[in-house]
Amino acid sequence: MAPHAVTRLGRRLLTVLAGWMLVSSVTAQTDNTSLESQRAAFKQAYAAASQGGDSWRQFAAGLRNFPLYPYLQAASLEHDIQLIDRPTVEAYLRQYPDLIPADDLRRHFLQELARRQDWDNFEAMYQPGLGDTLTCDALQAKIADGTPLDFNKDLASLWTTPALPSACDPVLQAAHDQGLLTRERLWARIDIAADAGKGGSISGLVQWLQGDDVPVAQRLALALSDPASAVAAAPTWPDTARSRQAATLALVRMARRQSMTADTAWQKLQNQFQFAPSQRDSILNALALFHATDYDSDALARLINLPASAQTDVSREWRVRVALAQQNWAAVLAAIDAMPPALQQNDEWLYFRARALSELGRSSEAQSAYATAAAQSSYFGYLAADHQGSPYSLCVAQPVVDPQGEQAVLAIPGMQRAFELFAVGMPKQARREWSQAMANADPQTLRQAVNLADRRGWYDRAVFTFNNGEGLHYYTLRFPLARQDGLVSQAQQAGIDPAWAYGILRQESAWMSDAQSGADARGLMQLLPSTGADVARRNGLPWAGAESLYDPTVNIELGTRYLAQMADRFDGAPWLASAAYNAGAARVKQWLDARGTLPPDLFVATIPFKETREYVARVMYYSVIYDWRLHGSAALMSARMTPIGQPYSRPDAQDPRKDVTCMTPPVVAPASSSPGTATSAPARPTASSSSAPATDKAH
């Protein structure tokens, strides 16, 4: 072929290719425009459907093929649940038998039928496995039919549940009236409730006991609901197995709140009752443990002298914490040596072993121990790396993007609904669709699904999916930057380190913008509405009410200002402000009054609340990860952990920084006691912090 012919052919090919690219671009833009218009129409239709009736249909004319169309009618039916009939519901269930809205509609309509006591229709629509409330409603329907209950068939599985919903009360009463609640069955359930700490369940069962069983069960209920009163009454109880059970429960629960009072009571009761060895161990463990969380003067001696049968991993850890509070380094080393080998390999105890060896002047051993700890990618690993002067360990991987795999994910109807629900601002429903669609997915499919979610700004999917194994190394996905939410600029305006603000956000909500706690803290940085209003007022920012906290931009603007306020109370120290953000500034002040002379790493390790200890460690670790993500290197962990009372300055360009590298932890044999390691030591008196909630201490 002549050269000029080749040129003409090339030009024609280029022209065709250019035309194809133009058409593809226009088509893609048209598709995107069409999709956006469908999403807008869906939002209008869903708002109308949520008000009931059929007005939503006028907005949904072009949405028949939109993945979320089934949600519209379901929303309308849910609103009108008290008005609709069974044929209407069944028609929807037949049309969308496998969808989440259909499951919800069935459940809610069954609840409505139970409220109406329309048992015929209830039985026609009921399916097992819908929860204890509906299970008991179904048994009520059976009773209404005049069918006798069968304990093994109808009640056996419910009987092992420590607490049941009120819907079960009529069922239990009917079972009693039919003679099914024998003494043996009642006591079996009482023991289950006692082990679970459900005093209310025991009180509900007392009505069906007879004779001497009544006061015996009442003692158990009292021990759980009011341990102080139970301990006060215990000297009048007979020395029986059930009295010993009640006394044990009461002493253990009292120890959590009033360790000194419980100790005095134990001195009296241990001679009155012939406690079983396991009961004595339980009581001794609780007394030692909660004297330790109060940092009483004899706490270390108690833990050292605790019988081996009464020790637990928690009590062994608290033996280290009390020794750390006293800065008794020989006792610290002895306590770690006394741990089981597997527990010794925890990164916290690897670090404090090295710390103790260093304080005891055993420098060579300390450096070797620091090297072992520094191979860990964690708060303690990075503290160890600072002691040793080594880089931070971070083994970073990235899941391979597989276009075909992504297309396969997008072809799954449930994932189509999940992504569209997220796009229209319904993240809770989106997560449910995701969970159902990915329930049995293989790792490769999950990785491609997370890649797709990340590109759409759905960041919490990586946090919850990549939480073990190889997925832990996908740091860029697990720790997104999400600059579009303005965190960096807002943190800088507030005068705080953006990496720290990112760390708080990541810990508080795991990037769920609709997160809501039991205390009503909301959004990415988990602000209470009252806090949000106060911060807005202090900073002259607009406040549009509690619902605005679900807007990431608003939440971050207010959250960074609140962090700045908290930091100002503690000389700017992010680690102390983090503790206050979690536990409250008043509690942190109490801990500072008691142990404010400790170095930061020891202070964190001796925080009485497990939740707050771990919270501070995670936030400071996350801060390093985010610093690396923002800058490619990280300010030193030790620079973030400023000594108590010393002003903190956020990192700048002149501060030392560290690179990250992937280090393989060395294989080490379990440590054993070394010559010169003390097995006991006098305890130093410390102030009490017994005001901490029992549920948060010593776990």
State percent of the chain over pLDDT 90.
Answer: 88
The tokens for 16 are: 């065709």
- Domain annotation covers residue 685: no
Write out the H or E segment, with its range, that includes residue 415: helix 413-423
Are residues 449 and 578 part of one domain? no
β-bridge pairing 634-635 and 657-658: antiparallel
Question: 652 falls in which pLDDT band (50, 70, 90)?
Answer: confident
Full residue range of the structural domain in which residue 73 is found: 3-143
Q: Does residue 330 lie within any of the structural domains?
A: no
How much is the pLDDT for 555? 97
**Is there a domain that residue 312 lies in?**
no
Mean pLDDT in the chain?
Answer: 91
Confidence tier at 484 by pLDDT (50, 70, 90): low
Indicate whether 38 and 96 sit together in one domain.
yes
Residues 649 and 562 in one domain: yes
CA gap 250, 257 in Å, rounded: 11
Q: Does the pLDDT at position 133 exceed 60?
A: yes
The answer to whether residues 424 and 552 belong to one domain is no
Does pTM top 0.85 for this prediction?
A: yes
The verdict on 578 and 641 lying in the same domain is yes
Distance CA 411, CA 348 (A): 45
Rounded to an integer, the average pLDDT of 334-342 is: 97
pLDDT tens-digit map of 52-73: 999 999 999 999 999 999 999 9
Residue 664: band (very low, low, confident or very high) from pLDDT cuts 50, 70, 90: confident
Catalytic residue among 317, 348, 420, 508: 508
pLDDT digits (tens, 9 = 90+) for 590-609: 999 999 999 999 999 999 99
From 436, 454, 473, give the residue that closes a domain.
473
Q: Is residue 324 part of a domain?
A: no
Q: How far is CA 107 from CA 132, 137, 427, 593, in A?
A: 12, 12, 21, 53
Q: Are 335 and 319 in contact (CB under 8 A)?
A: yes
The string of pLDDT tens digits covering residues 362-410 is 999 999 999 999 999 999 999 999 999 999 999 999 889 999 999 999 9
624 is a domain residue:
yes
Q: Report the pLDDT value the prediction gives residue 663, as an integer from 0 to 100.
A: 86
**What pLDDT score does 422 carry?**
98
Under the banding of pLDDT at 50, 70 and 90, the label for residue 8 is very low
Q: Does the pLDDT of residue 442 top 80, yes or no?
A: yes
- Do residues 639 and 655 touch, judged by C-beta distance below 8 A? yes
Q: Are residues 244 and 135 part of one domain? A: no
The residue among 247, 274, 301 that closes a domain is 274
Q: Are residues 408 and 509 in the same domain?
A: no
Please give the pLDDT value at position 258.
92
Coil, helix or strand at residue 682: coil
Boundary (domain end) residue, out of 227, 250, 274: 274
Q: For 621-650, how does the pLDDT look when each residue is reduced to its tens digit (9 = 90+)?
A: 999 999 999 999 999 999 999 999 999 999
Choose among 198, 210, 138: nearest CA to 174: 138
Residues 50 and 8 in one domain: yes
Instruction: Please name the residue that has the structure tokens 């629509």.
Output: 125
pLDDT tens for 178-208 read: 999 999 999 999 999 999 999 999 999 999 9
- The verdict on residue 303 lying in a domain is no
459 and 506 in one domain?
A: no
Report whether pLDDT(260) > 70: yes
14 pLDDT more than 80: no
Give me the mean pLDDT over the 34-39 stretch: 94
Q: Indicate if 508 belongs to the active site.
A: yes
Domain count across the chain: 4
